[in-house]
Amino acid sequence: MADRRSSRGMVAFSVTFYITTALIMVFVNKWVLNSVDLPFSLLWFQVTFAVILLHISAAFGLFRLPTVQKDICIGLIPLVLINVLGLSFNTICLQYVDASFYQVARALVLPFTVLFSFIFLNQKSSLMVLLSCLIVCTGFFVGVSSERLTLSMLGVFFGVCSSVSTALHAIVIKKSLDVVKGNTMELVYYNNLLSAIAFAPIILLAGEQNDIFMLFSDSNPTSLSDSDSNSARTFFIGIFVTGFFGFLINIAGFLQIKVTSPVTHMVSSAFRGVVQTVLGAILFKEILTSGRVGGIFIILFGSCLYTWFKDRENRKLKALEISEKLEKGELNENEKIYLGRNNEKENV
């Protein structure tokens, strides 16, 4: 009984932790981007701060820093490329659309994930999974079409690009783990370190370095107007807050997936989407139109439906696999425990 309570406590903690860190990242990023037009500089500071925090963690014995190797860096180029593109598309999308519309703009992650899994991994999907993707696409078009006259289509474009890169990111991670022999934290370190290096020339190409120098010239306050001073303060507070929570969100996402079921993970993501929409309207005084709200709920319904169908399919496959092993007498202890838990659920 005590184990069950502690288990429930851990699930509640992980879900709350994930939702809180994700919401803070979105709203602080939006707050900074509303004040300064430095998306790539913001991202560079965030990934650099993550590297610094990993070094601090290593100093306290919480993490063992890997020795940077050339062959591993080369092997992780696809991951770093997708990561840099994904972070850039996410941030630029957020810069051009309302925080309450951000979920709609990036709604096509699920359909693209299913599509790319079929193309690159040859994973076929059931009719119900495809139906769920169709519902998500419908929600996207309902949300976008209802506001096409007032919405930034450039923001929607980058939202679609973000969906593509996020879907590819999930596939690339699987292959990238082989490069670091399955060590997740080592992959996180390499990914942040190499991404920080990659963002440096992008800042120069985007011409953000001049604006950064102007912000750092805050050492001479008399040369800045009140608005410039406020922008500098917003930027510096923002990079430290998002850098810290950007580091935490990696842990939060991993922890939630580890201690909860896929259904719980998706439901918590859906709840986060609703809270994000409402808070976006409150904090940034955004208008919630019927089309925007309707599109969000259709997307969330399709996403939850997908997770439910996918979870049932995976359970059936797992049960079939265990049944075959049971007949051959090849069950290990973990599989016996899994079988026992399923039997308990069926009897309840």
End-to-end C-alpha distance for the chain, whole angstroms: 17
- Assess contact for 172 and 83: CB atoms under 8 A: no
pLDDT value at residue 79: 93
The position carrying tokens 């998306």 is: 39
Q: How many other C-beta atoms can be found within 10 angstroms of the C-beta atom of residue 6?
A: 10
Whole-model pTM: value is 0.83
What Rg, from alpha-carbon coordinates, does the chain have? 22
Residue 329 region by backbone torsions, left for phi larger than 0, else alpha for psi between -120 and 50, else beta: left
Q: Which residues neighbour 244 within 8 Å (Cβ) at sequence distance 6 or greater? A: 49, 53
Confirm if 246 and 50 have CB atoms less than 8 A apart. Answer: yes
pLDDT tens for each residue of the chain, 348 residues long: 444 444 677 777 877 888 888 899 999 999 999 988 999 999 999 999 989 999 999 999 888 889 999 999 999 999 999 999 999 999 999 999 999 899 899 999 889 989 998 998 888 889 999 999 999 999 999 999 887 766 788 999 999 999 999 889 878 887 888 899 888 889 889 999 999 999 999 999 999 988 888 877 754 444 445 555 678 888 889 988 988 888 887 777 656 656 666 556 666 777 788 888 889 889 998 888 888 899 999 998 998 898 888 888 888 887 787 777 666 666 665 655 555 555 544 443
> Measuring CA to CA, which residue among 105, 106, 52 is closest to residue 240?
52
Domain positions in the chain are 8-212+227-306
Contact 100, 280 (CB under 8 A): yes
Alpha-carbon span 86 to 108, nearest angstrom: 14
